Amino acid sequence: MLNPKKKFRKWTAISPGDDHHHREGGSRSSSIELLALGSETTREWSTSLSSVWKPVWYTGWHTGVLGCAASVVLVLFINTGLTIYAATNPEYKMEGGVGTLYLGSCDKSRTIGMWLHLGINALSTLLLSGSNYTQQCLAAPTRSEVDAAHARRLWMDIGVPSVRNLFRIKWERTLLWIAIGVTSIPLHLLYNSAVYNSIAANDYVVTLVTDNYIEQAPQSNATEALLDFYQELYNIENRTTMNFPMYGGVAETFNGVLEGYNTGAQAYEDLTPGGCTKLYNTDFISSHRNLFLITGQGSNVTSNNTIINIMEVSAEGISPSSWMCDYEEATEGGSYLRTGRTCISNNLVSNVTGGAPWRVQLSTGSEVEISGCKSEKISELEKCKVQFSLGIMIVVICCNFVKAGCMVMAVVRSREPTLVTLGDAVDSFLRNPDPTTEGICFADRQFAKQQWRHGGRTGPRQWKQEGVQRWWTSVSKTRWITCNFFFLITIMVSGVLLRMGIRNDGKYFDIDLKGFGKVSSGSILNIYFGNITQAILLANLPQTILSFLYLTYNSVFTCMLSGHEWSLFSHHHRTLRVTSPRPGQRSTYWLQIPYTYAIPLMTLSGLLHWLTSQSIFLARVEIWDPLGRGIVGTISTVGYSCIAIISVLTLGIIALLIAAGMGYRQFSAETATVGSCSVAISAACHAWEEPDVIIGKKVRWGDVGIVQDLGFRHLTFSSEEGVGKPIFGEVYAGKREGRSDSL
């Protein structure tokens, strides 16, 4: 029990009949009375605190928001400085709003792009975290806003991110909240595609020739050999009447390849059949180009022509390396491509490199065996690029600027103290108890929604909670459902893309561990866009989903840690953690999530965003013609990487298990589950002690004994020793000033 010498307020009980008459007869006037009481309380509270609680620019959430604003301004300077440098540097060859940061090796360009995306996602995480912090501070209600809501039997969120509060706070803070949120959408949809990799791929011609074509001196007239091939292919007797409608302008390309070999055979390197299949078993080949397949001496060739077959392989095909399977499966009456089945060129490569012969059956029925290859090695450097979009960076910088301005305004315009943390709310309600929540000493969120909200009559209630509850009970069903919904979308999309990637690659256990962000035709969506913007939006849509996932995941942890902090008040006496401390209180630079949780959450968010940028990304390929004369086509679509998707899936599942494990933890002591509900917090703060006695001391919530003149026990905060935990089965009722209503 508490110290009997302590000064208490006088309580006077009223009869049940009087209470009933008050409820029935004065129902209309009661709301006016409550509003008047709330306004009076607010004025008294504001006046009493005017000299001791003013906005402190270097403590509490002001410091946090200023820190967020500083980080956003730093990101703004980085974005602006690098953009100006890249746009004005002549080495980067700005053309059409696109600059080239690097041109050369494909492996090096992919590495550069991967590190640049890591930096982009680190900056993006700073923007996202700073926005979330500032929005939570902006949505925090003032005491006057809470009193106005309670007078209308509504409640507000305290200590957690909230959308509900936006409809009940001042319009200026609501507009700033919306501006910060809206400017985040373009950032997540565009930022990761401000820098992208563009790889070079070569169309090439595969020419099947006999030994004679290679061993004899280069033909003096390649056109003659080509015409002989066409004449035999189409069974034309008179060459002068030859017309090649099926080939059109391709004949010029074939002739150019043959002439190029005649005049520059030294540019071709000899390959074994195994080495040949291994080199050309790729979707986009950039280091080599045209290929001659050489048949063995024992080939059963009925043709007198040294050129047996010619085909052009386009990098824009569904699977460019399928031409090898096309030859391999000719014995079955058609190729994979002609029968519609999926070609798995890996099987051919494995067999040939293992020593099996590479046999080709022609359309004439003749079968030849490949004894060797000659591959044209490109002497110039590879043409893979790291490019950046000036237009995207301008949009990013504009959003960055607006976001920084809103954060600065959030600090400058915040003149009235807000209830940002649980400590702020408890301190306010202990100083000036809210009369609208008297008599419901252990109300929880459900009670506020189902009973108090509708003004239902209740009586003294038994404490039926036996044992300590778990952390997940402090999170509302809506937050759990929303968080799990975004997790489900992420896992489903990742699983579908992984299944597609494994099926297209034709391998289940031999996944390229270096394939982060690697563009290949087997791992791109079969969707081709009219312009690059459409591909950018689709590629970055998962980034937006991940941002919402981070916000909901963060709010779940915020609610659980808020419940944990509340339960500590039932375990032992504690000082209040407030944003603007007075003597006997402690300050805070974090809202509801301590740095030991906040920093890992930020790291997790940044890592997931980066892995996602390597999992699904803008795929841009510039295709060069077989003679290397110029770019004949560009592919703009969305690519994906199996190994990166596996990493996202693994990390996402781990994050989900961590949240479930945290939710399974027990609170420190038995307590009412108030969550973030302002009504439940207020109801728990009708103390026995006078405000000037309890404020500034360590307090504990629990059983403080029997209410005088009422006969029921009471649960509230107290600075005295002897506060006990709630007793199972015991009846508790709240205190009323001047009268007592049953709970």
Q: Tell whether the torsion through CA atoms of 443, 447, 451 and 453 is positive or negative.
A: positive
Q: What angle, 0 to 180 degrees and rounded to 10, lies between the N-to-C axes of helices 642-663 and 532-571? A: 20
What does the alpha-carbon distance between residue 651 and residue 638 come to, in Å, rounded to a whole number? 22
* Residue 229: per-residue pLDDT: 61
| pLDDT classification of 246: cutoffs 50, 70, 90 | very low
* Residue 526: per-residue pLDDT: 64
pLDDT exceeds 90 at position 394: yes
Tens digit of pLDDT for each residue in 10-40?
Answer: 333 333 333 333 333 343 333 333 333 344 4
What does the alpha-carbon distance between residue 317 and residue 340 come to, in Å, rounded to a whole number? 14
pLDDT exceeds 60 at position 370: yes
Which of these, 68, 101, 70, 71, lies nearest to 83 by C-alpha position?
101
Q: Which one has a higher pLDDT value, 728 or 604?
A: 604
221 is a domain residue: yes
What does the alpha-carbon distance between residue 325 and residue 335 come to, in Å, rounded to a whole number? 7
**Total tally of structural domains belonging to the chain:** 1
Q: What are residue 53's phi and psi, to 5 degrees?
A: -130, 90
- Residues with Cβ within 8 Å of residue 250, at least 6 apart in sequence: 312
Q: In terms of DSSP H, where are the helices of 465-574?
A: 477-505, 532-571
- CA angle at residue 718 from 565 to 688, to 5 degrees? 135
pLDDT exceeds 70 at position 557: yes
Range of the domain at 361: 200-384
With pLDDT > 90 as the criterion, what percentage of the chain qualifies?
Answer: 15
359 is a domain residue: yes
Tens digit of pLDDT for each residue in 172-206?
Answer: 999 999 999 999 988 888 898 899 888 788 888 88
Question: What distances in angstroms separate CA 73 from CA 65, 135, 700, one per listed residue?
Answer: 12, 17, 42
pLDDT exceeds 50 at position 247: no
**Residues, the chain:** 743
Tens digit of pLDDT for each residue in 513-545?
Answer: 446 766 665 566 666 676 788 888 888 888 888
Which of these, 549, 597, 537, 596, lies nearest to 392 by C-alpha position?
537
Q: Which H or E element spans position 208?
A: strand 204-209
| Two tokens, residue 493 | 């999309």
* Residue 206: per-residue pLDDT: 87
Q: What count of Cα atoms within 13 Å lies in the side-chain half-sphere of residue 368? A: 23
Beta bridge partners of 196: 387
Beta bridge partners of 361: 367
DSSP symbols for 42-100: HHHHHHHHTTT----TTSHHHHHHHHHHHHHHHHHHHHHHHHHHHHH-GGG--BTTEEE
Contact call for residues 474 and 559 (beta carbons, < 8 A): yes
DSSP class of residue 219 equals: P
Q: Which H or E element spans position 224?
A: helix 222-233
* Residue 82: per-residue pLDDT: 94
* Residue 183: per-residue pLDDT: 93
Q: Out of 16-30, 203-217, 441-455, which region has the weakest mean confidence (pLDDT)?
A: 16-30
Q: How far is CA 411 from the centre of its chain?
A: 28
* Residue 735: per-residue pLDDT: 59
Q: Out of 159-163, 419-423, 707-711, which region has the weakest mean confidence (pLDDT)?
A: 707-711
| Two tokens, residue 125 | 């995480």
Tens digit of pLDDT for each residue in 723-742?
Answer: 888 888 787 776 554 443 33
What does the alpha-carbon distance between residue 530 and residue 69 come to, in Å, rounded to a whole number? 39
Q: What are residue 351's phi and psi, to 5 degrees?
A: -70, -45
Most confident residue range from 1-5, 282-286, 397-401: 397-401
* Residue 396: per-residue pLDDT: 94
* Residue 309: per-residue pLDDT: 78
What does the alpha-carbon distance between residue 128 and residue 219 come to, in Å, rounded to a whole number? 66
| Two tokens, residue 451 | 């009973």
Between the two ends of the chain, the Cα-to-Cα distance in Å is 22
Residue 63, class by beta-carbon neighbours within 10 Å (0-12 exposed, 13-18 middle, 19+ buried)? middle
301 is a domain residue: yes
Tens digit of pLDDT for each residue in 334-358?
Answer: 333 333 344 467 777 888 888 888 8
| pLDDT classification of 116: cutoffs 50, 70, 90 | very high
* Residue 42: per-residue pLDDT: 45
pLDDT exceeds 50 at position 598: yes
What does the alpha-carbon distance between residue 696 and residue 691 come to, in Å, rounded to a whole number? 9
Mean pLDDT calculated for residue range 444-454: 79
Mean pLDDT calculated for residue range 372-377: 90
546 is a domain residue: no
Q: Out of 211-225, 467-481, 575-589, which region has the weakest mean confidence (pLDDT)?
A: 211-225
Which of these, 147, 173, 172, lies nearest to 38 by C-alpha position?
147
pLDDT exceeds 70 at position 487: yes
* Residue 412: per-residue pLDDT: 84
Beta bridge partners of 387: 100, 196
Mean pLDDT calculated for residue range 125-135: 91
Q: Mapping DSSP to helix (H, G, I), strand (E, B) and coil, where does residue 638 land? A: strand
* Residue 403: per-residue pLDDT: 94
* Residue 11: per-residue pLDDT: 37
* Residue 32: per-residue pLDDT: 35
| Two tokens, residue 191 | 């930022």
* Residue 499: per-residue pLDDT: 78
* Residue 16: per-residue pLDDT: 33
Q: Tell whether the torsion through CA atoms of 220, 224, 225 and 226 is positive or negative.
A: positive
| pLDDT classification of 505: cutoffs 50, 70, 90 | low
| pLDDT classification of 508: cutoffs 50, 70, 90 | very low
Buried b (16+ CB within 10 A) or exposed e, 684-708: bbbbbbeeebbbbeebbbbbbbebb
337 is a domain residue: yes
For the chain, count helices (H), then strands (E).
Answer: 22, 15
Contact call for residues 506 and 344 (beta carbons, < 8 A): yes
Q: Out of 80-84, 248-252, 380-384, 439-443, which region has the weakest mean confidence (pLDDT)?
A: 248-252
536 is a domain residue: no
Most confident residue range from 283-292, 675-684, 703-712: 675-684
Tens digit of pLDDT for each residue in 415-436?
Answer: 788 898 888 999 999 989 888 8
pLDDT exceeds 60 at position 509: no
Q: Mapping DSSP to helix (H, G, I), strand (E, B) and coil, where does residue 460 land? A: coil
Strand 204-209 and strand 288-295: the pairing is: parallel
Mean pLDDT calculated for residue range 572-595: 81
Beta bridge partners of 263: none
633 is a domain residue: no
647 is a domain residue: no
- If you average pLDDT over every residue of the chain, what do you get? 77
